[in-house]
Structure 1
Amino acid sequence: MSIVLLSRDLMLSSKLEGAARRVDQTLKVIGTDEAVLESVADCRVMVVDLEIPGLDIDELVQNLKARSPEGIQVIAYAPHVRTEKLAAAKEAGCDLVVSRGQIMSDAESILRSFL
């Protein structure tokens, strides 16, 4: 099983890649929400950057949960000032919604709690 990151943020991708290694997982980085659905079969945890242009978090979460035979955990993040996006992710059913700062500072412990 692996962790999939939907993001175009190279700094966060690098941070999460290191955190994934420390919890004995691999990280697959995907830049578009269309490509994410193809990765669900081997994915246990999906980390979603809510700043992806055109992202419909409600639709994405519904599709992920429907296509995941063993149940996928979805972690969503955005800058803390993007309160509407964070609220939409909670409403969509994400398992954890955090600020970008939280995921940057606590990536390893967040991932560990979902594995």
Structure 2
Amino acid sequence: MGAARTILGMVSNLMYTVRIRESASRLGSIAIFVDTNEEMISKIREIHPSLLIFDLTAVQPGWDETVKIAKAEGIPVIAYGPHVDTAAREEAIQAGCDQVFANSKFTLDLPNILENAFKKV
């Protein structure tokens, strides 16, 4: 069994990393952020996080394979991105993300989003 209630994220925007960390902390969780698919896969295997979060503006080619690895491990995956980038959001759904949010919804509802995701773990 891996680390309890650990969020693993690929997030490029400092504002979001701070918000995710703060919301995770309030729920008794920790958030770890990585920059590459390789780091993400390594951490999935090393710590078996409770949740993955992808910023759709930070993803790299091949990130959809990372989602498949997480899903095979039973790890829920959330993605968020600009509401105008419907193609990226559709790609996230096709990749297997459990939930995909517009930035505005993700920002406004982050504590509830995390809490609900943890209930499913």
Question: Match for residue 80 of structure 1?
Answer: 83
Question: Percent of pairs identical after alignment?
Answer: 29
Q: Is the 8 A contact 2:37 2:63 kept in 1?
A: no
| Residue 52 of structure 1 pairs with residue 55 of structure 2 | no
**Could you tell me which of 5, 15, 19 is aligned with 2:23?**
19
Task: Name whichever structure is richer in strand by fraction.
Answer: 1
Q: Could you report, residue by residue, the CA deviation over 1:68-108 in whole angstroms, capped at 9, with x for unpaired residues?
A: 2xx10000111101100000111111110001111111111
- What code does the residue aligned with 1:112 have? E
Normalising to structure 1: TM-score of the pair? Answer: 0.89
Q: Bigger CA drift: 32-41 or 47-56? A: 47-56
Distance in 2 (CA, whole Å) between partners of 1:5 and 1:75 is 9
Distance in 2 (CA, whole Å) between partners of 1:49 and 1:65 is 17
Q: Is the 8 A contact 1:57 1:88 kept in 2?
A: no
Structure 2 unaligned segments of length 5 or more: list them. none
1:1-115 paired onto structure 2 within 5 Å: 1=4, 2-40=6-44, 41-52=47-58, 54-66=60-72, 68=73, 71-115=74-118
Normalising to structure 2: TM-score of the pair? Answer: 0.85
Distance in 1 (CA, whole Å) between partners of 2:24 and 2:59 is 25
Number of residue pairs matched? 112
Distance in 2 (CA, whole Å) between partners of 1:30 and 1:94 is 18
Q: Is the 8 A contact 2:51 2:76 kept in 1?
A: yes
